[in-house]
Structure 1
């Protein structure tokens, strides 16, 4: 019997294109655990181009880049234009 393949449906919440720039955005209500962080960044990690990848979280997460080069930013900072991209 062959092993079962687990198929995951990966999607990006928003893709912003402006001239020759592109921004991939994942949104999350909160990031209470590493498991939730892993879930939100899974789709972004499958994109192999060099454009900016961002996770916007509704909680007061401290904004900054994670170990995978993804900008994790609070919704507050994102809406006020404090993003670093």
Structure 2
């Protein structure tokens, strides 16, 4: 009878370990999906930032090449600060 209890205990431990391994595998799969999604978001944001930087450079070039006689004053960061600064 003692061997039967030992076998039952061993089987129970085996089942618990198998359940834990399955849970870990599921958690890893979810984490992999999350990492892939985050990587896609970061790649898209990097592309957007690069596009915005190029656009900003073009705007700066247009401002630098602008004729002062055109009636539009160049933007001065320090002079055009909001009053709460």
Q: TM-score, normalised by structure 1?
A: 0.18
* Greater relative contact order (CA < 8 Å, ≥ 6 in sequence): 1
Structure of higher CA gyration radius:
2
Q: TM-score, normalised by structure 2?
A: 0.18
Identify, as 1 or 2, the structure richer in strand.
Answer: 1
Identify, as 1 or 2, the structure richer in helix.
Answer: 2
